[in-house]
Every structure is written in structure tokens, then in C-alpha cells.
Amino acid sequence: FLRYQTGAYVEGLSTDACPACGRTVPRIVGEPFPNAWQPVATTAAGEERVDLRGAAVVLAGLADVSVWRIEVAQTGPRARTHRVVVELAGRVGEAELEGLARRLRNAVGSDQLEVELVPDPVLLERRIEELGSVFADLT
């Protein structure tokens, strides 16, 4: 899980009894990894921190996009450079995708970074299934 306010990545949630107080409410577990919102990506210009919060602001402001997923991935199996892959579920036209890629590059703070936009019609269904299992685990 990624803690939005702190930008720390943690293992997940647990409903096991707390070792200190014995309560069984959902709680965050695991060692936090700081700066998860700003992973390091390698571009032709060198290593850069990618601000995923900026991308989240751009994507959250899109009225026609119901769900999105963002990933920093290698450009190929043996490549040393990275790209930002954004999967979108919603109604986004081809003309809008070009402008969106430019806005995302500006938002993450790197004009050298390759941004790949992937319209994904099944992303919403996958996300609902994932959330359903998370909520089922919490009950």
C-alpha cells in the first residue's frame, strides 16, 4: 500500500490482533519505504526522481476517466531506462491522449521521460475486483 499523505510504501493491512493492545481493527503493517511517490527513473539524461503525486493530480482532474493506474517500468527487458505507463478506463479520445501525455510529463517533472498511455476497457472491472477482495478481507 502507498500512504498518500506521507508517500511511504508499506506492506499492507492486517486485521490480526495488535501485539501491543490486542485490538483487531485494520492497521498498517510492515516497514515503511519513504519517498514511494517519487521513485527514481533513468532516462537518457540520467537518473531523475519522478513525482507521481503530480501525475495523480492531473489524472484525478479528468472527468471522463473513471479509474487509472500508473507504473514506472523499464522500456524493455534488458533496458536501463524507464518510462511511465498510465492505464486509463473511461472515454478519452486520441486527440486528448497527446495533450494528456504532455501534461503528465510536465507534472512528473521530466520532459525526458517516455509516457505511454494505455486505454484499458477492463481496468475498471479489475480494480473493482481488487477492491472487493480488500474490503472482504477487512470484514
Chain segment 100-131, per-residue pLDDT in tens: 888 888 887 776 666 666 666 666 667 666 66
Q: Residue 139 has what DSSP assignment?
A: -
DSSP 32: -
pLDDT in tens, 36-83: 556 666 766 777 777 777 888 888 888 887 778 777 777 777 777 777
pLDDT at site 136: 45
CA atoms within a 13 Å half-sphere pointing along the CA-CB vector of 132: 6
Between CA 112 and CA 89 the distance in angstroms is 26
Count other Cβ atoms within 10 Å, centred on residue 42.
17
d(CA 33, CA 2): 9
C-alpha–C-alpha distance, residues 115 and 85, integer Å: 6
Which is it for strands 82-90 and 40-43: parallel, antiparallel or unpaired? unpaired
The domain spans of the chain are 1-36, 38-138
- Cα(19)–Cα(103) distance, rounded to whole angstroms? 46
Asked if residue 66 lies in contact with residue 90, where contact means CB atoms within 8 angstroms, the answer is yes
| Amino acid identity for residue 126 in this structure | R
CATH number of the structural domain 38-138: 3.30.300
